[in-house]
């Protein structure tokens, strides 16, 4: 799994535009939370999607709290941690958090299951 790191608010607009070509997954991760680490590890271990199916993006919530708030505002999704948002055609088509985060959930919402 090759994460694309989110480190600026400008990247959110780029992700929105990119999602019109390929779905984009944003993983909001708290580096100090064991549940977040577990969710990230489970996602990485089970990841079997190709780059042309979905592009994964990673946000370090501790380092970039303001970007997390921007994501919540932009997509109208209440912030949680850990959390994934699947962005397709410029909108959030699916989101989930904590231990509900799974590759199967992403696949289902991509129409791959």
Residue 112 is predicted with a pLDDT of 80
Return per-residue pLDDT of the chain as tens, 113 residues.
Answer: 899 999 999 999 999 999 999 999 999 999 999 999 999 999 999 999 998 999 999 999 999 999 999 999 999 999 999 999 999 999 999 999 999 999 999 999 998 86
CATH topology for 4-110 is Glutaredoxin (3.40.30)
pTM of the model: 0.95
Chain centroid to CA 97: how far? 10
**Residue 4, H or E segment:** strand 4-5
Residue 85 is predicted with a pLDDT of 98
- Please provide the distance, in angstroms rounded to a whole number, between the alpha carbons at the two ends of the chain: 19
Judge contact between 97 and 81, C-beta under 8 A: yes
Return d(Cα 85, Cα 12) in angstroms, integer. Answer: 12
Residue 113 is predicted with a pLDDT of 66
Query: Where do the domains of the chain lie?
Result: 4-110
Sort strands 55-60 and 4-5 into parallel, antiparallel or unpaired.
parallel
**Residue 56, H or E segment:** strand 55-60
């Amino acid at each position: 799994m090759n994460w694309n790191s989110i480190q600026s608010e400008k990247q959110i607009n780029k992700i929105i535009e990119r999602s019109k070509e390929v779905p984009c997954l944003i993983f909001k991760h708290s580096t100090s939370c064991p549940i977040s680490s577990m969710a990230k590890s489970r996602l990485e271990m089970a990841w079997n999607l190709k780059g042309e199916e979905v592009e994964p993006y990673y946000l370090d919530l501790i380092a970039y709290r303001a970007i997390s708030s921007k994501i919540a505002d932009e997509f109208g999704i209440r912030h949680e941690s850990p959390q994934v948002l699947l962005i397709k055609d410029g909108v959030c088509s699916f989101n989930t958090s904590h231990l509900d985060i799974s590759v199967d959930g992403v696949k289902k919402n991509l129409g791959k299951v």
